[in-house]
Amino acid sequence: ATQGQVIKCKAAIAWEKLKPLSIEEVEVAPPQKGEVRIKILATGVCHTDAYTLDGHDPEGIFPVILGHEGGGIVESVGEGVTSVKEGDHVIPLYIPQCYDCKFCKSPKTNLCGRIRATQGKGVMPDGTSRFTARGQKIFHFMGCSSFSEYTVVSEMSVAKVSDKAPLDKVCLLGCGISTGYGAALNTANVEDGSNVAVFGLGAVGLAVAMGCKERGAKKIIGVDINEDKFEMAKQFGCNEFLNPLKVEDTVASLIEMTDGGCDYTFECIGNVKTMRQALEACHKGWGQSVIIGVAAAGQEISTRPFQLVTGRVWKGSAFGGWKSRDSVPKLVDSYMDGKVMVDEFVTFTKPLVEINEAFDLMHQGKALRTVVNM
C-alpha cells in the first residue's frame, strides 16, 4: 500500500517559462489534513496551461506542474476528509467549493474565495507544496496539477463522479466543455427561439453552441476566421456561419443576419476587439453578451456607454457559473445519459511522454482537445 508514503512517479514539469515540459520523476508527499491524493488517469491540455508556460501569466510561478482538466481515482485521503475515499473516481476542480464562504453561500456566483490566495501562489492551503523533484520544491497549479501520475489537492477541490464514466473523456468536464456549456445555460440562460452568435469555435465555443441548441435557440451563428471549423461545428448546433475576414463589418453583418441583433452573444476567443464586437452585435433593448475567453494580462475592453444605456448587457463567467462540487457530478451523469457531448471534443489522444505535442496541436489550432493518458 502507498498510503502514508511518499509516492515516486512521473510528471511533466515546467521548470521555466517557454521551455518544453520535462517528463521526469517527482516525489508526491502524502495528503495532509483536508487533502486528497489522486492517481490521475487522464488530462486535457488547455489554453491556461499554455498561457502560464509561455510566461504570459504575471502570477506564474516556476518550477510547476501544470494541468487542470484531469480525471483520476483517489489513492488516499488525509485526516478529516469525509466527502471522498480511496477508490472514488474524481475530477479535480480549479474553482473549489467550500460551502462555507460568502461566495459559496450566495446563489449568485460559483466563485469560492476560501483557498484562492494559496492556490494563486501555487501551494496547498497550509502554504506548502506536496511535490519535490531533483531535490527542489515544485509548485502546484490552479489547485489541480493534473500533469502528474499522482497529485494532491484540497478536499474542497474534488468532485466525486460516477465510477461508470470513462475518466479519459469526462476529464474534459473539468474545464473547457463545462465552461462553454454553463455560459449558455447558467450565465446567459438562453431561451428557446433565441438568435445567438458564438465567437470562436474551439472547444469552449462549441460547448456554448451545444448549450444553446439544448435550449432550443433558433439561429446559432458560428463566427470564426478559420473556416475549417464550420463543418464540424454543425454537430454541436451551429446552423449559420460568419467569417469576419470575409465581411466588411462583422457587427453589421450579424445585426443583418438576426433582424436587428442577437439575443445572446458569447466571446470564446479571449480578444478584446471581438469582445466589443460581440457586445455591439447584441439586439438593442435586451441583447446580452457573455465574455468567456481569457484576454491577455493588462488588456481592457471598451465600447460606447450608449450601448449599455440602450439595453445591451455585458457579462462574464468562469467555469460556466457551475458551483463545482455540486455540478460536475451532474454534468458527468448528463454525459452518461447522452445529453452532454464529450467524446466529440477529443480530437487526439497522447501518452504522457508526448504531452508537448498536445501543446503543439493546440497552438496549431488542430485540436479541440488532446487527452493525455497517464
- Which residues of this protein are in contact with ligand APR, per CB under 6 A? 47, 176, 199-205, 223-226, 229, 244, 268-271, 274, 292-294, 365
> Which of Zn ion, ligand APR, none does 176 bind, CB closer than 5 to 8 A by kind?
ligand APR
Binding-site size for Zn ion (CB under 5 A) equals 5
The answer to whether 116 is a known catalytic residue is: yes
| Contact indicator for 292, 269 with CB cutoff of 8 Å | no
The answer to whether 155 is a known catalytic residue is: no
DSSP H helices, 86-196, are: 102-105, 116-120, 167-170, 176-182
Of the candidates 35, 104, 283, 325, the residue annotated as catalytic is 104
Max distance between CA atoms of the chain, in angstroms, equals: 65
Of the candidates 48, 52, 151, 250, the residue annotated as catalytic is 48
> Which of ligand APR, Zn ion, none does 224 bind, CB closer than 5 to 8 A by kind?
ligand APR
Query: What's 19-62 look like in SS3?
Result: CCCEEEEEEECCCCCCEEEEEEEEEECCHHHHHHHCCCCCCCCC
Nearest-approach distance from CB 81 to Zn ion, in angstroms: 17
Of the candidates 9, 56, 101, 109, the residue annotated as catalytic is 101
- What CA–CA distance (Å, rounded) separates 145 from 164? 24
CA 127, 70, 133, 59 dihedral sign is negative
The answer to whether 25 is a known catalytic residue is: no
Of the candidates 56, 116, 344, 357, the residue annotated as catalytic is 116
The C-alpha cell 502514508 sits at: 4
Q: Does 325 bind Zn ion (CB under 5 A)?
A: no
Q: Which stretch binds Zn ion (CB under 5 A): 58-66, 90-98, 217-225, 306-314?
A: 90-98
* Residue nearest to ligand APR as judged by C-beta position: 202
- What CA–CA distance (Å, rounded) separates 215 from 100? 32
> Which of ligand APR, Zn ion, none does 114 bind, CB closer than 5 to 8 A by kind?
Zn ion
| Contact indicator for 35, 152 with CB cutoff of 8 Å | yes
Nearest to 159 by CA among 76, 96, 69, 80: 96
Q: Does 362 bind Zn ion (CB under 5 A)?
A: no
Nearest-approach distance from CB 323 to Zn ion, in angstroms: 9
Of the candidates 37, 47, 130, 283, the residue annotated as catalytic is 47
Q: Which stretch binds Zn ion (CB under 5 A): 4-12, 99-107, 120-128, 226-234?
A: 99-107
The answer to whether 144 is a known catalytic residue is: no
The answer to whether 325 is a known catalytic residue is: no
> Which of Zn ion, ligand APR, none does 98 bind, CB closer than 5 to 8 A by kind?
Zn ion
Q: Does 101 bind Zn ion (CB under 5 A)?
A: yes
For strand 195-199 and strand 219-223, is the pairing parallel, antiparallel, or unpaired? parallel
Distances (CA, A) of 191 to 59, 185, 234, 263: 38, 9, 20, 9
The answer to whether 171 is a known catalytic residue is: no
Q: Which stretch binds Zn ion (CB under 5 A): 52-60, 105-113, 220-228, 237-245?
A: 105-113
- What CA–CA distance (Å, rounded) separates 341 from 234? 13
Nearest-approach distance from CB 26 to ligand APR, in angstroms: 26
The answer to whether 47 is a known catalytic residue is: yes
For strand 131-133 and strand 150-154, is the pairing parallel, antiparallel, or unpaired? unpaired
The answer to whether 104 is a known catalytic residue is: yes
- What CA–CA distance (Å, rounded) separates 295 from 312? 21
The answer to whether 238 is a known catalytic residue is: no
Of the candidates 35, 37, 43, 68, the residue annotated as catalytic is 68
- By beta-carbon proximity to Zn ion, the closer residue of 112 and 183 is 112
Q: Does 104 bind Zn ion (CB under 5 A)?
A: yes
| Contact indicator for 12, 147 with CB cutoff of 8 Å | yes
The C-alpha cell 454537430 sits at: 235
- What CA–CA distance (Å, rounded) separates 56 from 38? 29
Q: Does 95 bind Zn ion (CB under 5 A)?
A: no
The answer to whether 134 is a known catalytic residue is: no
Of the candidates 35, 37, 46, 325, the residue annotated as catalytic is 46
Tell me the catalytic residues: 46-48, 68-69, 98, 101, 104, 112, 116, 175, 369
Which residues contribute to the site for Zn ion (CB under 5 A)?
98, 101, 104, 112, 114
